[in-house]
Amino acid sequence: MIVGNEELFKETSSALKRMQEFDVNSLPRKNDLGNKLNFENAVEPAEKLVELYNRLSVTALQDFPDNVLESIKNNANNHYKLFSEILEFDPGQSDPVGVRESYITNLINSYQPAFASLHQYISYSLHRSADFQRLDSDARATLQSIEDKASSITDTLNQYEEDAKKVLEEIRIVAAEEGVTKQAVHFNAEYEHHSTEADKWRGYVVKLAVGLGTFAIVSLFLHKIPFLKPSDIYDAVQLSISKVLIFFVIAYMLFLSAKNFLNHKHNAIINKHRQNALMTHTALVEASGDEGVRDAVLLQAASSIFSPQSTGYTESKESDLSNQKSVVEILSRPAGQALKDTQT
């Protein structure tokens, strides 16, 4: 709040700011005045004078009465007039050297009375600027603001941490599913390979079966063909042996083709079962909340993947009794543990 005349306060503030913002480097005017008439020697005393005014705070002017404001304004205007005289110096006037020296001398001599006139106001200004109570209040307010912002940032970071944990968990789940999918691809590749081979050998079986049936029918009439008709017992025996050998060769090839077809078909179904077990066991494990049930699901999935399975295409003499026993043992663990806990 301004103590005195508001208009006077504005004029004093303007005069003070003009002195504080004055650029002393504009005083030498070397380009205009040359080496002999320039005001290079005026820079140092001008800097001291400007620095003196810079120590007087414009804010402190609000507390000064009118007579003090008037004194500060007059001093600032008078000292600025010294700068203006140097800036407006005309080298073409009479006795420019003497005028130049007088301007510099006046500037040098102006510091002592300026200090004597302003030092008490500068002291008050510095004291007001260093109002420790106000500084403490501002510091507390600033500290509280920092604490509030820190708390807000901490909450935000905690939220980000929770979100990051969720994202990380989802990434792990996706990575696990991706890993399972990649492993299932191997079984799918084997399934497709054996399916293709089974279709190929099934075609051989059909062709050989048709060929064997056709040969069986044709062989009934071979002896009636003129150049194959036996003329004696030896020829009849030779023809019969040939027919039997050809029949058994075709029959044996039919047997091998059928066996290969059954084996490939069996392997295709087994690999499809393995793929399905690997793709579905994760969902089943996550859906089961009981540890014993999860173990049983994992055991059955592992059994479907790694143990021999019966498909009906090949003979299997292996029994599932051991697997069934393992499942029963695993499922009985929670019940046994609960019974022990009850007894204790």
Cβ-proximal residues to 203 (8 Å cutoff; 6+ apart), any chain: none
What pLDDT does residue 324 have? Answer: 47
The SS3 assignment for 95 reads coil
Q: Report the C-alpha dihedral over residues 56, 59, 64, 68, rounded to 10 degrees.
A: 40
**Whole-angstrom distance, CA of residue 260 vs CA of residue 246:** 21
Task: Looking at mean pLDDT, say which of 249-263, 281-295, 322-336 comes out highest.
Answer: 249-263
The SS3 assignment for 91 reads coil
Q: Is the pLDDT of residue 3 over 60?
A: no
**Whole-angstrom distance, CA of residue 294 vs CA of residue 285:** 5
E strands, 252-315, where? none
Q: How confident is the model at residue 328 (pLDDT cuts 50, 70, 90)?
A: very low
Query: Tens of pLDDT along 83-122?
Result: 999 999 888 888 888 999 999 999 999 999 999 988 888 8
**How far from 153 is each of 27, 46, 145, 156, 158, CA to CA, in Å?**
53, 50, 12, 5, 8
E strands, 92-134, where? none
**Whole-angstrom distance, CA of residue 84 vs CA of residue 15:** 13
What pLDDT does residue 320 have? Answer: 47
Global pTM reads 0.40
DSSP 41: G
The SS3 assignment for 90 reads coil
Query: Could you tell me the residue ranges of all domains in the chain?
Result: 6-133, 184-334
Q: What is the mean pLDDT of the chain?
A: 79
What pLDDT does residue 2 have? Answer: 56
